[in-house]
Amino acid sequence: MLLDLIEEAQEQLRAGDMTLAQAEAVSIGSAEDQKSALNWIGKGWNDSPDDIREEIIGRSPSVDLAIFDRELYKGAYISDLLAEDDSTFFADEEQFEQLQREAIEKLIEQYEQTHDFVEFVEGYFSSYQYNEVEEGETGGVVIVLRTSGEVEIHEGLKKPEIDDSNVIALKPKQKATYSNPLLCYMAMHKSVAVQASLLENPRIAKELAVANRLYRFRNHDALSYFEHEENGAIPSAIEAINTKAMYVVRVFWTQRVKI
């Protein structure tokens, strides 16, 4: 893995400016990712090995999400050899999405030949607006593309019959004040402004990083094990961990309130 490090990263590792664990995490990224990671390490932002992996991998789709032939993908991969599962990701998200959509189009063509209807939904989907088909009926199919790139296929659905008892008069859609391109333009300005503000306030950036880690925190198995002791006895080490954790959380939120 360390052979994949760019020259600048190798120099920092030899100079002792980066730990071996950090170097292993940095090595999973592309040259551009590694340069960004070295910048984080130099400034003390998200510089733990887990944080570095998370920043590099980000929202990259896992290879097990692909419904297309992997041979069609011509981009690079991100592989974390130290991870337990789902350790390989598509580095080229745009190419992954394009191939995923092309595969969905083929699925739609196939289902149109065998089912009553086929619908394609992006993002969130709930089956509450459909009924289940009865025995012997084919029904329709809804193909869902999640924001993560995962594809879900819901078969055996039937649209409810429409009559005067369940028809609701729809109000004309009000014209939006701003167009979608303008809203996107404003949002990008807002994002850039927030990023610039964070660069000028390293403390706030670190607090946001801490909040992000707390939000995704998961108890170690050892902590969960002692919570279910039949005699109710909690080891002194667990009490010390809980006390320190509550103190850190209390101090963090107190400082946020002052700010």
Give the helix, strand, coil percentages of the chain, each rounded to 5: 55, 10, 35
Percentage of the chain with pLDDT > 70?
A: 79
Task: List, for residues 23-70, the tens digit of each pLDDT value.
Answer: 888 887 777 878 888 888 888 776 788 888 777 777 688 888 999 999
Residue 28 · residue 3 · CB < 8 Å: no
Query: Whole-angstrom Cα distance, residue 253 to residue 209?
Result: 13
Task: Indicate the domain borders of the chain.
Answer: 2-94, 180-258
Strands lying side by side in the sheet with 131-132: 118-122, 140-145, 151-158, 131-132
Location of structure tokens 């760019």? 6
Q: Give me the pLDDT at residue 66, please.
A: 93
Cα distance between residue 153 and residue 107, in whole Å = 10
Distance of CA 156 to the CA centre of its chain: 30
- The average confidence (pLDDT) of the chain is 80
Count the helices and strands in the chain (H runs, E runs).
Answer: 9, 6
pLDDT at residue 214, rounded to an integer = 65
- Predicted TM-score (pTM) of this structure: 0.51
Binning pLDDT at 50, 70 and 90, where does residue 85 land?
very low
Residue 202 phi, psi (nearest 5): -55, -30
Strands (E) in 91-235, as ranges, are 118-122, 131-132, 140-145, 151-158
pLDDT, one tens digit per residue, over 197-224 is: 888 888 888 877 777 776 666 666 666 6
Contact indicator for 120, 106 with CB cutoff of 8 Å = no
To the nearest 10 degrees (0 to 180), the angle between helices 236-258 and 202-215 is: 140
> Domain 2-94 is of which CATH architecture?
Orthogonal Bundle (1.10)
Residue range 14-26: average pLDDT? 84
